[in-house]
Amino acid sequence: MIMSQLVPNMSTTPVKGKENTRSLLIETGIDIMLEKGFNNTGLSEVLGACKVPKGSFYYYFQSKEDFGLQIINTFDEKYVLELDRVLGDKSLSAVERLTSYINESIAKAEQRKCSRGCLIANLSQEMADQNEVFRNRLKEIIEKRRSAIALVMQEGMSTGEISADLNAQELAEFFLSAFEGAILRAKVKKSTESLHVFKKMMFDKLFKYRQDR
Amino acid sequence: MIMSQLVPNMSTTPVKGKENTRSLLIETGIDIMLEKGFNNTGLSEVLGACKVPKGSFYYYFQSKEDFGLQIINTFDEKYVLELDRVLGDKSLSAVERLTSYINESIAKAEQRKCSRGCLIANLSQEMADQNEVFRNRLKEIIEKRRSAIALVMQEGMSTGEISADLNAQELAEFFLSAFEGAILRAKVKKSTESLHVFKKMMFDKLFKYRQDR
């Protein structure tokens, strides 16, 4: 009997299969962590949902922390692709692109009945004081999103769609703060009112602010 | 031997002592839950920190859920007193009172190096999808705060300090969303920049918005 028959999926498993199992664990982890957070998610629950034997976990990940970081990275990679698609659509003006971004987010919140929220914000709240490795990674991600939003705002300011009396970096920081807070309030109220109020205040009011001259 | 000697602190404990133990458990619970959240806080940790024997917990609380709700209620009662003190100071104008509220919050965040955040927001994020009793209580609390802020904003609009081209209820919702989000971002970045940007955008820009006429 050759080794590959004694130890199933060892040498005969194609790389694709291994990659699929890893992806399945991460996708399932994202789903469960969005609901329960990092600390409250049991590895046995993730493995059970994936029908992956318990012993296999450490083949794919060094530790639960490593699993959490890979989850954050995968979630972020997908988010960046989405963000690039929406914010990079040059057939639309800067403010139209920001509007698309918010409209798509509101539509997703409606679909899931305002539950779960944003994984990055949820883990930020839970882990920022508990784990410096998580905190630094989460900080990088939120700063990267801020820069992406600020760039579009800068464009909107140069074309006059957004008041040039505002500072793009500060406006982007405020935009993301306010939107994250609105997602949290929508989650508690189980109503998208907070998200629609965000949109109205930001796009219809603040973007049109004019300094007294 | 009389009963009170067999069971120490049973019939001889003055009500004040019982109340003190209950308060101590709640205050310690607030402290630990601010750091770890509800699910991740062990009752044994709280009891150990208070030097209260394990068996006593159910004398004071029906369950961990009941303990969590009493923690939320106690935190809210204190917060309401603080809010009433700051927002009710009629020696100041409406916007001056809102400024005091934010300045005091920023000073507290600085003191604790942007850690912990707001217990109500933290538990909202953690528990809104997990427990309807918690969610309903948290929703009542955030709506009550919104009404208190809206009332002051309405006053600011009537005196011309805040643009009358805004809606006080919507502005209050947006104000609290944006502040909660800024507290969360400050916690990840370990910097009060988000809070100062919130203040500038809200007070110096949005409050001064003027509709084109």
pLDDT, tens digit, 9 for 90 and up, residues B97-132: 999 999 999 999 999 999 999 999 999 999 999 999
Q: Is A174 on the interface with B (CB under 8 A)?
A: yes
- Arithmetic mean of pLDDT, A40-66: 94
What count of other Cβ atoms lies within 10 Å of the Cβ of residue A51? 7
| B68-80 b/e (C-beta count within 10 Å ≥ 16 → b) | bbbbbebbbeebe
CA distance A60 to chain B (A): 26
Query: Would you say residue B1 has pLDDT above 80?
Result: no
DSSP B113: T
Q: Is A135 on the interface with B (CB under 8 A)?
A: yes
**pLDDT value, residue B54:** 84
Query: Would you say residue A11 has pLDDT above 80?
Result: no
Average pLDDT, chain B: 92
Query: Would you say residue A213 has pLDDT above 80?
Result: no
**pLDDT value, residue A15:** 57
Complex-level ipTM: 0.90
Would you call B167 helix, strand, or coil by DSSP? coil
| Interface with chain B: mutation pick from A129, A131, A197, highest number of B CBs within 10 Å | A129
CA distance B84 to chain A (A): 22
Average pLDDT, chain A: 92
Q: How confident is the model at residue B15 (pLDDT cuts 50, 70, 90)?
A: low
Q: How confident is the model at residue B17 (pLDDT cuts 50, 70, 90)?
A: confident
As a residue count, chain A comes to: 213
**Within the 42-81 window of chain A, which residues sit less than 8 Å (CB to CB) from chain B?**
none
Q: Inspect the interface and report whether the beta carbons of B142 and A189 lie closer than 8 Å.
A: yes
* Of B10 and B190, more confident: B190
Q: Which residues of B touch A208 (CB under 8 A)?
A: 209, 212
* Euclidean distance between CA atoms A65 and A130, whole angstroms: 12
Q: Which two tokens stand for residue A113?
A: 């009945």
**pLDDT value, residue A17:** 74
* Euclidean distance between CA atoms B154 and B148, whole angstroms: 10
* Euclidean distance between CA atoms B142 and A174, whole angstroms: 20
**pLDDT value, residue B213:** 63
Q: How confident is the model at residue B5 (pLDDT cuts 50, 70, 90)?
A: very low
- What A76-85 contacts at long range (C-beta under 8 Å, 24+ apart), as own/partner pairs, is A76/A120, A76/A141, A79/A120, A79/A145, A80/A144, A83/A145, A83/A148, A84/A148
**pLDDT value, residue A2:** 43
> Per-residue pLDDT tens for A163-181?
999 999 999 999 999 999 9
> Per-residue pLDDT tens for A184-200?
999 999 999 999 999 99
Q: Inspect the interface and report whether the beta carbons of A174 and B201 lie closer than 8 Å.
A: yes
Q: How confident is the model at residue B135 (pLDDT cuts 50, 70, 90)?
A: very high
Closest CA to B203 of B96, B108, B92: B96
> Per-residue pLDDT tens for A84-124?
999 999 999 999 999 999 999 999 999 999 999 999 999 99
> Per-residue pLDDT tens for A152-165?
999 999 999 999 99
Contact B32, B49 (CB under 8 A): yes
- Arithmetic mean of pLDDT, B141-170: 98
Query: Would you say residue B18 has pLDDT above 80?
Result: no
**pLDDT value, residue A1:** 40
Q: Is A166 on the interface with B (CB under 8 A)?
A: yes
**pLDDT value, residue A16:** 66
Q: Is A118 on the interface with B (CB under 8 A)?
A: no
Q: Could you tell me the domains of chain B?
A: 1-61 (1.10.10), 63-213 (1.10.357.10)
Query: Would you say residue A32 has pLDDT above 90?
Result: yes
* Euclidean distance between CA atoms B78 and B73, whole angstroms: 9
Contact B194, A177 (CB under 8 A): yes
Q: What is the pTM of this model?
A: 0.91
> Per-residue pLDDT tens for B68-106?
999 999 999 999 999 999 999 999 999 999 999 999 999
